[in-house]
Structures are given as structure tokens and as C-alpha cells.
Structure 1
Amino acid sequence: MLGRVASGGGTPRRRPISVHVTVPFATAIGLSDEPGELDGYGPVPAHVARTLAAEGVWTWLRTDPGTRQLLDHGRTKYRPTTALAAFITARDRTCRAPGCHRTARSCDLDHVIPFAAGGTTSAANLQAVCTTHHLLKHHGHWTVHRQPDGTTRWTSPTGHHYRRPPEARGPSTEPQLEPPPEPESSPF
């Protein structure tokens, strides 16, 4: 049994189980089939590594590409908490790419400023993007900036800009104009 039993014969207290799997970034996002490594077991096929990583909490580990030695252990988590993921999905409602209306529930959560470049796993730096636009951003040389009002600004490789304002939620607080009065009689 994991954990220890509380004194007095109460219910056991358990520590969460930690499974450590190392997955190359290109494998994690489906661009490579390089195997992952399961601590205490050894190499695992790419599809197994992706499955294990998909349900876990990610911590960024920076390694030297030549020696594969660990250089830095991330001090923040890559993967958002369940509450943060639910917030981003509810806030964004749809993919944040201009013109895309895929529901946020079916989207990836993407760091606007990449995690590896110092971006945080926070509401200010996360957005919902469908897999197509996620890959376009990372491999199609598009850049994205999130403005303080929630608007995302996508810049194409040719320098063209496309804006996507935040999704409106709830009733409008703007005063509603009253409709003009109906004419008293109609010629029809």
C-alpha cells in the first residue's frame, strides 16, 4: 500500500502517484515519432509517450541537445491546472485565430509567448487554438500577440496583421436605443 496509515487505525493517507515520462517536444506535438523515456522502465514508443503526457502535469526540463544532460528544471508548470484550462476555454469560447469558429472545447491551449522563451502558464499568456492554427503558429512563421483588452493580433510571415477581438459574454451593458414609434396608419 502506498502512503501510511493515520494513527488510531483511520483511513490511509496517500501520496499522489508520480509517473515521469520524458518526451521530445516534436514528438509531443505529433511532428516526430522519436520515442519517449519512462523513468524506471526505459524507451517507450512515441504514441505511448504522447498518451502518458496528455493526461499529466508538465514541467519544462531544459537539456543540452548534444549531451542530453539536464541544464534547468522548470520552476513553473507547463500544463495549466484544470481550473485555469476551464477558465481559458470559457473565456475564449472559440479558436482565437481570425475567422476560425472551432469551439474552444476542441482546441489546444497554447502559450502566446512560448513557454521555452519565458512565457508563463497564466490566463494572460494562454489561448485556445485549434490544432491547425496551433501548427500554423509554431511551424508557419506566424506570430501572435495578446493585447490587454483580450484582442489577439496575428501577424503573417508576409507582415500582414489580423485581429480577433475577445468573445462577448452575457447581456450588453450598453444602453439600448428604443425603436422608433410605429406609424399610426400604413398605406399597405
Structure 2
Amino acid sequence: AVDTHRRRFHPVVARWIRARDANVCRMPACDHTGDDLQLDHVDPYSQSHDSAVENGQTACASYNLLKELPGWTVRKHRDPDHPHSPTLEIITPTGRTYHCPPPPAFGPGTRRTPPWAIRQ
């Protein structure tokens, strides 16, 4: 049992979020990876008081600050088949919408880098 109402993510939940997100920033076109990524609440903690797995995401410092600016909206859409791995919908101030599913689970035939982070 993990208390989902505490401000900081429980260490077990934090490991789960980092593994689910493949330790990559969830912002589209951001390829920032590493242990310095922040664990962020999709729905701000000040409003939701929710530190459950499905409300967590990995974010670089820039994305974490950017999404709090006026005009930015981040919503999560739940998949009934994967209730703890929501797809994020990010809407920019210009109205552009990005849908960001979590990276695929590691295994044969999967990539560690999300599709939006691949440079050609």
C-alpha cells in the first residue's frame, strides 16, 4: 500500500514512473534523458493532491516549468487496457495539440527512444 496523497512520489512509485517512461522527458521533440529528469505531476499537486502512478511523468526542468505558463494545457487520457500508463495531450498556447503515449515497454522489437525524439 502506497499513500497516493503525499506530495512527493513514494520511491516505489517513482521507480515505476521512470521505468514506464523509459527515463525520457514526455515533452514532444525533447530527447532529454538521464537521472536528472524530474518526476512531475500531470495534474498539479496543488489542485489534485494525487501522487499516484497515473498522475506522474518524467520531465526535464524546461518542460516542467513551461507547462505551468499561461496558455499551456496538459491532460491525461486513460487507456482501459493500460490504466497506469496514460497518454498525455499537450496543447500549446498557439492551439497545437500533441498526443504523447508512454514509450513502449522494453523487449524484442521495441525502441528505447520515443518516436518524437529520433533525429533523422
- TM-score by length of structure 2 reads 0.73
1:163 aligns to 2:92 (yes or no)? no
Aligned positions, number: 99
TM superposition outliers: structure 1 runs of 4+ over 3 Å: none
* Cα offset, 1:162, TM superposition: 1.0
User: Residues 65-121 of structure 1, C-alpha deviation per residue, up to 9 Å, x if partnerless?
Assistant: xxxxxxxxxx92110111111111111121010111212532111111111112410
Amino acid in the other structure paired with 1:97: M
Q: CA RMSD in A?
A: 2.0
Go from structure 1 to structure 2 and tell me whether the alpha carbon gap of 1:90 and 1:104 turns closer, same or farther (over 3 Å shift).
Answer: farther
CA distance in structure 1 between the partners assigned to 2:89 and 2:102 by the alignment: 11
User: Residues 125-175 of structure 1, C-alpha deviation per residue, up to 9 Å, x if partnerless?
Assistant: 111110000010012531111221332110011221012121012235xxx
Which structure 1 segments of 5+ residues have no match?
Answer: 1-74, 173-188
1:87 aligns to 2:24 (yes or no)? no
8 Å Cα contact 1:144/1:155 also seen in 2? yes
Q: Tell me the percent identity.
A: 36
8 Å Cα contact 2:42/2:57 also seen in 1? yes
CA distance in structure 2 between the partners assigned to 1:104 and 1:148 by the alignment: 26
Q: Secondary structure at the match of 2:68?
A: helix
1:98 aligns to 2:34 (yes or no)? no
Amino acid in the other structure paired with 1:101: D
Which structure 2 segments of 5+ residues have no match?
Answer: 80-85, 110-120
CA distance in structure 1 between the partners assigned to 2:78 and 2:97 by the alignment: 17
Look at both structures and tell me which one has the larger radius of gyration over its CA atoms: 1
Go from structure 1 to structure 2 and tell me whether the alpha carbon gap of 1:95 and 1:103 turns closer, same or farther (over 3 Å shift).
Answer: same
Equivalent residue number for residue 130 of structure 1: 60
CA distance in structure 2 between the partners assigned to 1:117 and 1:104 by the alignment: 28
8 Å Cα contact 1:104/1:129 also seen in 2? no
CA distance in structure 2 between the partners assigned to 1:148 and 1:91 by the alignment: 14
